[in-house]
Amino acid sequence: MALDDTWFTETNADNGAAFSLKLSKKLHEEQTTYQRITIYETEHFGTLMTIDDLYMVSDRDNFLYHEMMSHPALFTHDAPKDVLIIGGGDCGTLREVLRHPSVTCAQQVEIDERVTRLSEKYFPELCASNNDPRAELHFVDGIKWIKDSKPDRYDLIIVDSTDPVGPAEGLFTEAFHRDCLRVLRPGGIFIQQSESPLYHMELIASLHGALRRAGFSDVKTMPFPQPVYPSGWWSATMAGKGRDLAKFRDADARAKPFDTTYYNADVHRAALALPEFMRKRLA
Other CB atoms closer than 10 Å to residue 231's CB: what's the count?
18
Q: Smallest Cα–Cα separation from 65: which of 263, 203, 246? A: 263
Q: Which residues of 113-142 are buried (b: 16+ CB within 10 A; e: fewer)?
A: bbbbebbeebbeebbebbeeebbebeeebb
Quote the distance between the C-alpha of residue 227 and its chain's center.
15
List, in sequence order, every beta strand (DSSP E) within 139-210.
Answer: 154-160, 184-193
Continuous segment of H or E residues that includes residue 36: strand 36-42
Spatial contact of 199 and 127, defined as CB atoms under 8 Å apart? no
Q: Which one is catalytic: 90, 160, 163, 218?
A: 160
Identify the bridge partners of residue 107 per DSSP, sorted by sequence position. Answer: 84, 136
DSSP secondary structure letter of residue 2: B
**Of 13, 17, 21, 10, whose CA–CA distance to 47 is shortest?**
21
d(CA 110, CA 86): 6
- 160 part of the active site: yes
Which residues are marked as active site?
A: 160
